[in-house]
């Protein structure tokens, strides 16, 4: 299994009056080269689950093994290195820096790796060609359309060539045409060997033929129908 | 004499160190009782987060303690201006019975505190926290030394009375008369210098051999050699080298070297000696850590770097301590 969660729980503000139990004893296994959708209502814990898979949060208890390592529990200096090489993130609002050009946004994750500007650009150009945004290379990211912005976010997630792509509600702010386009790109990435985990309650995502498994999340637990 | 900038700086540094150490000791007890890296329990995960903060605090706390040695010597040098009879740090430190023990504990502490920091640096270079238990057990053993350090220093500062007459270094570091023996009558100058330079050559040879081909017995010998050299060098600096630096045959004070009249050369001399001795000996002391999971390469890399730097420091130390002697001999001086 590429992603394996074993009795993972997450409690925010533990021991305080505003304590929230976001996940309770969640176990989940995701094999390589599959596309899984985490589906559930707002506040069900699916974003927390995605954040634990993405090692943004450490679980309060339990073990999250990603690509053979309990990544989230590694010391910080190792976690950053492994996460950078293993996981690509696509955020709900894309989190693109509008003042930077499209190419600079895409190459941003390569900066800490000490890769030369020439190689950084070469990698970005390949992705921009694949995602049909090459003509926007030097445009400030704040001036491109919503669909192009989404592709910039995808290119940025892929630029390190990670085996796992995580997308948190990626179609929440897109119309149905752009949502379908997004899912087609994800389907192509899956066929190219990537493992993809998407959180969504959008039927365009949950019912897409490329989705191998829909995992229901409710009240911080895996919802078994 | 607490209402003095040096006393306040020293006291605050020590309080910071002891408080940070105390907080970490609480974590140490929890680590020794509950640490289990194989467990996925809430307690273990919380401990993993806690040791990061705690270890950083300890590293800074012990760093403060190490820095306090320099502050302490500078302070003692400054106190001599107000203590009757004192001409340098020697007089200040002998102004009451806590000065010299405080200095000794601080000096020994540099090695013990420094070694904790080395263990910590090795530990955080591995993915699996292999030295957590060891370094926290060591911290608990170290805490009494920190407490002794702070207590002696506080008693020393509190007991300083400017109106009590103390001894001048010229009296303290004078050869015994009337058939008695002391540090300055240990042996002939030539014999001491011969031993001193022989040990230096031996250390350089051992270090070179280690860098060429690593061998744990050689490296143990190198570590022991540094301990021996550290003690020997302190004696030779006092008995022989100091008087060449002062250009006064009967002046043997190891503290006046730190004064501006001698261009603060003592800081460079003692700095290179302590640094070299610490690195040279710690390269050997970390050998058992090689057996811990994920640490073999990290430890080997530290050992190599430590031996390299200790050799550079030894060469610098040799140059600093030999310069005045060689200058004297080159200008036709007699032994």
Could you read off the pLDDT of A22-34 as tens digits, one per residue?
Answer: 999 999 999 999 9
Confidence band for B171, pLDDT divided at 50, 70 and 90: low
pLDDT band at A195 (very low <50, low <70, confident <90, very high): very high
With a CB-CB cutoff of 8 Å, which residues 1-30 of chain A face chain B?
6-7, 9
Give the tokens for residue A144: 């491109």
pLDDT above 70: percentage of residues in chain B: 92
Among B91, B139, B151, B85, which Cα is nearest to B112's? B139
Nearest to B272 by CA among B230, B314, B229: B314
Which of B41, B45, B122 would you mutate first to test chain A, the one with the most A CBs within 10 A?
B45
Q: Considering chain B, what is the average pLDDT of its residues?
A: 88
The pLDDT, as a whole number, for residue B148 is 95
Across B160-187, average pLDDT: 65
Best CA proximity match to B62, nearest among B137, B134, B122, B146:
B146
Q: Which of B45, B52, B129 shows the shortest C-beta gap to A61?
A: B45
Q: What is the pLDDT of residue A72?
A: 73
Query: How is residue B261 written in tokens?
Result: 């009249």
Q: Indicate the angle between helix axes A146-158 and A117-130, nearest 10 degrees.
A: 130
pLDDT score at B182? 59
Number of structural domains in chain A: 1
What is the 3-state composition of chain B as percent helix, strand, coil, each rounded to the nearest 5?
A: 75, 0, 25
Residue B268 pLDDT exceeds 70: yes
Does B127 contact A76 at a Cβ distance shorter than 8 Å? no
Instruction: For residue B180, name the pLDDT band (cuts at 50, 70, 90).
Output: low
List the 65-104 stretch of A: residues with Cβ below 8 A of B: 69, 73-78
How far does the CA of residue A10 sit from the closest CA of chain B (Å)?
10
ipTM above 0.95, yes or no: no
Taking CB atoms and an 8 Å cutoff, what residues of chain A touch B48? 58, 73
pLDDT of residue B176: 58
Q: Quick one: DSSP state of residue B212?
A: H
Chain B residues in contact with A69 (beta carbon < 8 A)? 127
Give the angle A194-A196-A199 at the CA atoms, nearest 5°: 170
The whole-angstrom separation of Cα B301 and Cα B293 is 15
Chain centroid, CA B70 distance in Å? 10
How far is B34 from B40, CA to CA, in rounded Å?
12
Contact call for B124 and A9, based on CB within 8 A: no
Which of the residues B36, B42, B48, B135 would you substitute to probe the A interface, choosing the one with the greatest number of A C-beta atoms within 10 Å? Answer: B42
Residue from A81, A84, A63 nearest A164 by CA: A84
Is B48's CB within 8 Å of A73's CB? yes
> In this predicted model, what pLDDT tens digit does every residue of B215-230 receive, in sequence order?
889 999 999 999 999 9
Query: Residue B65 above 60 pLDDT?
Result: yes
Q: With 60 as the cut, is the pLDDT of residue B184 above it?
A: no
pLDDT tens for each residue of A7-21: 999 999 988 888 999
Rg (CA), chain B: 22
pLDDT higher than threshold 60 for residue A203 = yes
Average pLDDT of B34-44?
90
Domain that holds residue A68: 3-223
Please state, in angstroms and rounded to a whole number, the distance separating the CA atoms of residues A14 and B263.
Answer: 58
Higher-scoring residue by pLDDT: B90, A53? A53
What is the DSSP code (8-state) at residue B232? Answer: H
Rounded mean pLDDT, A146-150: 88
Is the pLDDT higher at B6 or at A123? A123
Whether residue B211 has pLDDT greater than 60: yes
Please determine, for residue A224, whether its predicted confidence score (pLDDT) is greater than 70. Answer: no
**Cβ <8 Å between A61 and B40:** yes
Q: Per-residue pLDDT averaged across B109-117, rounded?
A: 95
Task: State the greatest distance between any 2 C-alpha atoms of chain B, in Å, as a whole number.
Answer: 76
Given pLDDT bands bounded at 50, 70 and 90, which one contains residue B170? low
Q: pLDDT value at position B161?
A: 80
User: Is the predicted pLDDT of residue B121 greater than 90, yes or no?
Assistant: yes
How confident is the model at residue A38, as a pLDDT? 94
Q: In this predicted structure, what is the pLDDT of residue A146?
A: 87
Say if residue A58's pLDDT is above 60.
yes
Instruction: Return the CATH number at A47.
Output: 3.40.50.300
Q: What mean pLDDT is predicted for residues B291-319?
A: 94
Angle, CA of B315, B321 and B324, to the nearest 5°: 125
């Amino acid at each position: 299994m590429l992603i394996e969660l074993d009795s993972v729980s997450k409690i925010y503000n533990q021991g305080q009056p505003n304590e929230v139990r976001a996940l309770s004893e969640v176990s989940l296994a995701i094999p390589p080269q599959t596309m899984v959708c985490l589906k559930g209502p707002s506040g069900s814990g699916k974003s927390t689950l995605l954040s634990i898979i993405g090692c943004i949060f450490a679980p309060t208890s339990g073990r999250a093994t990603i690509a053979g390592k309990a990544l989230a529990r590694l010391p910080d200096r190792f976690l950053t290195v492994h996460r950078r090489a293993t996981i690509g993130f696509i955020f709900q609002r894309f989190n693109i820096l509008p003042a930077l050009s499209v190419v600079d946004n895409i190459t941003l994750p390569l900066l800490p790796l000490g890769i030369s500007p020439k190689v950084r650009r070469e990698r970005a150009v390949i992705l921009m060609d694949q995602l049909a945004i090459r003509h926007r290379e030097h445009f400030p990211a704040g001036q491109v359309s919503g669909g192009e912005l989404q592709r910039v976010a995808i290119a940025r997630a892929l630029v390190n060539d990670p085996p796992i792509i995580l997308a948190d509600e990626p179609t929440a702010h897109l119309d149905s045409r752009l949502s379908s386009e997004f899912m087609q790109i994800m389907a192509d990435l899956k066929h190219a060997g990537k493992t993809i985990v998407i959180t969504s309650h959008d039927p365009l995502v949950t019912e897409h033929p490329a989705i191998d498994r829909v995992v229901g999340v409710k009240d911080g637990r895996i919802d078994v129908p | 004499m607490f209402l003095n900038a040096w006393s306040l700086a020293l006291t605050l540094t020590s309080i910071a160190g002891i408080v940070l150490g105390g907080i970490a000791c609480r974590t140490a007890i929890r680590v020794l009782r509950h640490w289990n890296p194989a467990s996925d329990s809430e307690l273990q995960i919380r401990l993993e987060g806690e040791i990061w903060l705690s270890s950083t605090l300890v590293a800074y706390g012990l760093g403060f303690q190490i820095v306090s040695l320099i502050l302490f010597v500078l302070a003692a040098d400054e106190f001599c201006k107000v203590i009757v009879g004192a001409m340098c740090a020697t007089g200040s430190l002998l102004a009451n019975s806590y000065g010299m023990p405080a200095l000794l504990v601080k000096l020994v502490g540099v090695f013990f505190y420094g070694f904790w920091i080395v263990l910590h640096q090795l530990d955080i270079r591995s993915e699996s926290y292999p030295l957590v238990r060891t370094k926290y057990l060591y911290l608990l053993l170290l805490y009494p030394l920190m407490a002794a350090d702070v207590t002696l220093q506080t008693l020393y500062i509190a007991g300083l009375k400017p109106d009590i007459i103390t001894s001048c270094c010229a009296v303290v570091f004078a050869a015994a008369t009337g058939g008695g023996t002391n540090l300055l009558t240990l042996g002939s100058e030539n014999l001491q210098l011969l031993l001193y330079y022989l040990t230096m050559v031996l250390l350089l040879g051992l270090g070179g051999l280690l860098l060429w081909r690593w061998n744990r017995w050689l490296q143990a010998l190198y570590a022991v050699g540094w301990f021996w050299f550290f003690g020997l060098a302190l004696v030779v600096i006092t008995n022989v080298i100091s008087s060449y630096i002062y250009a006064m045959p009967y002046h043997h004070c190891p503290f006046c070297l730190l004064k501006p009249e001698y261009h603060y050369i003592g800081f460079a001399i003692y700095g290179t000696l302590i640094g070299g001795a610490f690195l040279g000996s710690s390269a050997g002391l970390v050998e058992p850590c090689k057996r811990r999971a994920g640490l073999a390469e990290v430890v080997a890399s530290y050992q190599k770097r430590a031996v390299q730097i200790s050799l550079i420091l030894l060469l610098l130390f040799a140059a600093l301590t030999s310069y005045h002697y060689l200058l004297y001999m080159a200008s036709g001086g007699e032994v």
